[in-house]
């Protein structure tokens, strides 16, 4: 932290961060309590508010200040993957006879692309945290959303086949994806009828439809079909 470094701008010594050593000490504990998005917000708060107060910054990153604990509690929301990983492994093995690896990814640092769950040869990729559907205390809990996502991916691995979509229009591709999702979820519900409530509750309302009129009409048609199926 206190090593010197060369510089062509006149400064030849790095300025040590008072809170960084304490942050590294608390990092294992923090990663067990927060998602990466929550950890980023908690860290940014401490840096932004205590940059000019070294002693208070040290207290913040040692989790000794009331402000630090309050922000930590505020950022701890949803169902963390690390808390339910074993339950999800048992769920896959017991209900779906599948023992593939579960690989969490962060939703904190890729705001433009917004990654979604998917699977490949290396395992099933799921978010590191799931909030309750449609807000806190919603109709589907975070762990049930994990179960629905894993069941959906298992269904695609069993019953879907790869398609060549190079010459499809965007609407054709979207329609095929939506109807294939409906088909797969229908087959899943036939095996476990209790999934019907979760799948229906996870379908968003009409507010997600695009504001542009023509795509809105097209999306509304597909949305109504999904609800009906």
CA-CA distance, 89 to 79, in Å (whole number)?
15
Q: What is the pLDDT of residue 206?
A: 47
Residues with Cβ within 8 Å of residue 124, at least 6 apart in sequence: 100, 101, 102, 103, 117, 118, 150, 153
Q: To which residue do tokens 């999934």 refer?
A: 195
pLDDT band, residue 222 (cuts 50/70/90) = low
CA-CA distance, 42 to 70, in Å (whole number)?
10
pLDDT one-digit tens code per residue, 27-40:
888 887 788 888 89
Q: What is the pLDDT of residue 128?
A: 86
pLDDT one-digit tens code per residue, 98-143:
989 999 987 765 656 778 899 999 999 999 888 888 777 778 899 9
Query: What's the token pair of residue 109?
Result: 């640092």
Which range has the worst mean pLDDT, 41-50, 92-101, 173-182, 203-212? 203-212
Q: Which residue, 134, 107, 87, is CA-closest to 34?
A: 107
pLDDT one-digit tens code per residue, 43-92:
999 999 998 888 999 999 998 888 888 888 788 778 889 889 999 999 99
- Secondary structure element (H or E) that encloses residue 119, with its range: strand 118-120
Residues with Cβ within 8 Å of residue 61, at least 6 apart in sequence: 19, 20, 22, 23, 26, 46, 68
pLDDT band, residue 8 (cuts 50/70/90) = low
Q: What percent of the chain has pLDDT over 70?
A: 79
Average pLDDT taken over every residue of the chain: 82
63: left (phi over 0), alpha (psi -120 to 50) or beta: left
Query: If 0-12 CB within 10 Å is exposed, 13-18 middle and 19+ buried, where does residue 218 land?
Result: middle
Within 10 angstroms of residue 59's Cβ, the number of other Cβ atoms is 20
Query: What's the token pair of residue 207?
Result: 């507010």
Query: What's the token pair of residue 170?
Result: 């965007």
Question: Residue range 172-189: average pLDDT?
Answer: 90
């Amino acid at each position: 932290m206190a090593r010197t470094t060369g510089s062509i701008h006149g400064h030849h010594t790095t300025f040590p961060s008072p809170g960084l050593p304490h942050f590294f000490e608390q990092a294992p504990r923090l990663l067990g309590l927060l998602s990466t998005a929550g950890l980023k917000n908690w860290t940014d708060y401490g840096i932004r508010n205590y940059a000019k107060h070294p002693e208070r910054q040290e207290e913040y990153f040692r989790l000794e200040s009331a402000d630090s604990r309050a922000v930590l509690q505020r950022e701890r929301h949803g169902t963390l993957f690390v808390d339910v990983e074993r339950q999800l492994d048992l769920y896959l093995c017991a209900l779906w006879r599948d023992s593939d690896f579960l690989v969490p990814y962060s939703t904190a640092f890729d705001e433009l692309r917004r990654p979604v769950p998917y699977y490949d040869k290396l395992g099933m990729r799921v978010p590191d945290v799931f909030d309750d559907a449609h807000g806190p205390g919603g109709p589907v809990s975070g762990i049930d959303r994990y179960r629905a996502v894993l069941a959906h991916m298992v269904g695609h691995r069993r019953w879907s086949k790869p398609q060549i979509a190079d010459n499809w229009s965007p609407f054709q591709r979207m329609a095929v994806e939506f109807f294939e999702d409906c088909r797969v979820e229908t087959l899943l519900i036939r095996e476990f009828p209790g999934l019907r409530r979760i799948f229906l509750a996870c379908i968003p309302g009409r507010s997600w439809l695009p504001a542009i009129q023509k795509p809105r009409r097209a999306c509304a048609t597909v949305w109504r079909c999904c609800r009906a199926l």
